[in-house]
Structure 1
């Protein structure tokens, strides 16, 4: 009963934080062979196509949603020059959005062009203009661009220059050059994905950027900055709660903020709810009594706090819980540790608790 109640509380916190993050909605276009699937998998992970929920929308269009709900992708693989035109469907989408149906609102379109095809024609340019004319920002992505060191394939540069010369209303006026997947046989490394995200961050609505940061798997620095900004906010809140010193026995008042922080960080590191709840239980080992958190809550894992929690200690406890949990979440996200391994979860738990014991002191500050 205690464990199920604890998971229910964490699940509720996770759902609340997922709603706050929202969903980044991307429509991706390009001719067959342009590397759309490879690009999506490189930026967002295999789950977009492999374990995401795919639903046919209309002829040639499939919608995928990732497991955490932070990403929705419309793969418009049927929109090719000489094939059926997307104009009618796109306009119907925009009309629905303007009527208030924002479920399928596109935040950005990625238009992919293969450098190997050496091809960008008037039909493709017209589709780009159509998208922008409907109010959808377009990032034009040149894929399969070969590069050795800083030397870029001259053929790819020539194609990029030709596209730029058309004066299309694309983000930054020029294609983003990428190689989504490294080629071990030829020794070519992947590149350009950080740049693609940087350009995309700049054109999507501000309220969607955090969802994009959460959904993507390339830019760890943005995840780190966002997580630490939330840790700072939660710590300030805890310091406010503890402005008047509170007994350790009453420390449960800090639990909702701590749970929300942990849930939000798990979401930003793309850990699905059920796995995050299991990880939280295994890592923190928080005691429960009668289906509720024990009065001392997460404070119980930190020896030597004393019998009274001051504002600074409350803030420091929350900050170090947040940073220790962020470290654990990043390890799982990057594959350095597995939620499926009981041994590894136990090791993560000890890392978590050791970090708290090392960092938390009366009036101390967490390591940065």
Structure 2
């Protein structure tokens, strides 16, 4: 660790195999950073540490052995205690557990009191460390409140003297329900912000550094949503209906705008509903007015099946709209603009959809005419052409 990071706080992640711990960690620290996680020699080879860099505001300690059986829990606990003891002996006195993430699976629809007892037993060595329950795989919005209630009831059932400081449903990565339906990343920023806030005084990351880290994660998660929305549009667009004359992209657009707005916290702003409605309205009306589908007929030598042309155009519309949404949301998030400034928003979205839009669609149509382009390849091509914030 660098000297700067010797004052970092540490998060212990506990959860059975299959609950999505690794995916959650990657979503928090970034895929490229999580890949640097390393095992510690000796008994602690079950331990992996992530976030030992100058970017992540805290380190994440992942012990892979917190399973229901006593033996595995004992191994995991011993590994964490050994790491903490060795770190202290090496004068890294801040290598203590400061926050605990208890990961439970949202799709299970249940949390037995015994699981809570096992968790409390495994963490009894850290009686004063705050607990955050992360409900992973919370794909269904309708189930989230029920899952939160299940967690609270399970802790109450065992008469726990240590209750969670927060219960946060999360979707760590884009989850595909069907070829054209997906659940976008959700809850990650709330988990990061809550964890930073719960860190002891003196272990808080510098305000500016933490803010920049959260902004970078919002950008990455929004790009993930934009890529998924583009793919969804490509699949939906492969129908024998002229895109400008159909409302088939409406649900795709609204879902993407809503997901990106939530990632940036715009859903909590005054005027957030009008904000989202305006983006959808400007995008749909503005792009339909361009008659972009006619481009396919205007390009000399272009020979594309109608379904391919429709897919390219549909993907382009949604990719461009997502880029405009990310830009607008970020301006509001940074405090440069207000969510209820509709005139600015209209102008901003129109500008994003006008600058080079036709040229990019034309380029995508040309490249798609080479043949062998399935939905995934078309979506990747379109997304790469329109993405400006990757």
**TM-score range normalised by the length of the shorter chain:** 0.3 to 0.5
